Amino acid sequence: MWRHGAAYLLTLPVSLSIVFELSHTIIAAPASLITLLRQEPSQLQKKHSSITMAATSEGITLSLPSKYGSSPPAATSAPTLEWLATTWTVTHSTLSMWRSARNVRITYNRLPANSNGVARLDDLVEYEPSNKEGVLKSVMGIDTQAPGGSACSWNWRGKGMLLMITSHWEVLGWGEATTAEGVKERWAVTWFAPTLFTSEGLDVYCDREEGLSAETYTAVLKALGALGTASLVAMVEKDMKPVEIRLPRVAA
């Protein structure tokens, strides 16, 4: 997603004539690219005519991304805003940039609805470069509920110098589990749409700093494999990797 893409851009010396310093300073950007970046996520997404489907494995149910369905996830399958509003550890991801990061976490905080009454969330991504000690990087943005969607479907826009950058992401599944040791954990699976700089991808979240238990992740992985869409299944098999977790985290 573009919040990931924005973080990715911060790691590149040059990308399509855009140079983003770690301070989020934009040095140069062609006007044609700026026009593309300013498009709403819905304008950048492809439309597909297949029906919406879901997969269930060991009590975990996941919906297909709307890219592969004719309608967004039903509101009845969406988590509440209060449930989403916490700090999530990204425990597994298909995004290659997280191979060089550790302790990736995303914090959602509920914001007042916009002037049209549409729900919003403050979105803070924080991560620590694997090759540095005591360094914390961040990407800040605002999530707005997607038109016709629910708390499962969001459009992200960056803050400050990243204001022109947008993306679309969705919650494919969410829930709570109890480990064999009796520890309760919340989990979520999110999908982010492709952008100019990043491919579509999947993240697995857990509300515990130490990450998701092996048994819950195994169930999530089986549900992802049961989605029945060849490209998604292939992406999971090829690209889904654990994200390094090393505690204690670097504090902001």
pLDDT at residue 79 is higher than 90: yes
- Residue 69 is predicted with a pLDDT of 74
8 A C-beta contact, residue 21 and residue 27: yes
Give the C-alpha distances (Å, rounded to integers) separating 192 from 16, 84, 245.
21, 16, 22
Query: What pTM, to 2 d.p., does this model score?
Result: 0.80
State the chain's mean pLDDT as an integer: 82
The secondary element (H helix, E strand) that includes residue 9 is: helix 2-9
Instruction: Kindly give, in sequence order, each residue whose CB lies less than 8 Å from that of residue 40, ignoring residues fewer than 6 positions away.
Output: 155, 166
**Which structural domain range is residue 40 located in?**
2-242
Model pLDDT for residues 177-230, shown as the tens digit of each residue: 999 999 999 999 999 999 877 889 999 999 999 999 999 999 999 999 999 899
The residue type of 19 is V
Report residue 96 CA to chain centroid gap. 13
* 245: its two tokens: 């977790």
Q: Is residue 248 part of a domain?
A: no
Rounded Cα distance between 109 and 127, Å, is 18
Query: What is the biggest distance separating any 2 CA atoms in the chain, rounded to whole angstroms?
Result: 56
Burial 63-92 (b: 16+ CB within 10 A, else e): bbbbbbbeebbeeebbbebebbeeebbbbb
| Residues 133, 247 contacting (CB under 8 angstroms) | no
- pLDDT at 28 (0 to 100): 33
Length of the chain: 252
Residue 68 has pLDDT above 80, yes or no: yes
Rounded to an integer, what distance in angstroms lies between the CA atom of residue 47 and that of residue 65?
Answer: 11
Give residue 35's pLDDT.
39
Per-residue pLDDT at 77:
79
- Could you tell me if residue 170 is inside a domain? yes
Domain-located, residue 106: yes
- Beta strands 120-129; 101-111: pairing state: antiparallel
CATH of the domain at 82: 2.40.128.20
* Token pair in block for residue 186: 């919340």
- pLDDT tens track for 31-58: 333 333 444 554 444 333 223 345 555 6
The answer to whether the CB of 209 falls within 8 A of the CB of 229 is no
- Domain total for the chain? 1
pLDDT at 39: 47
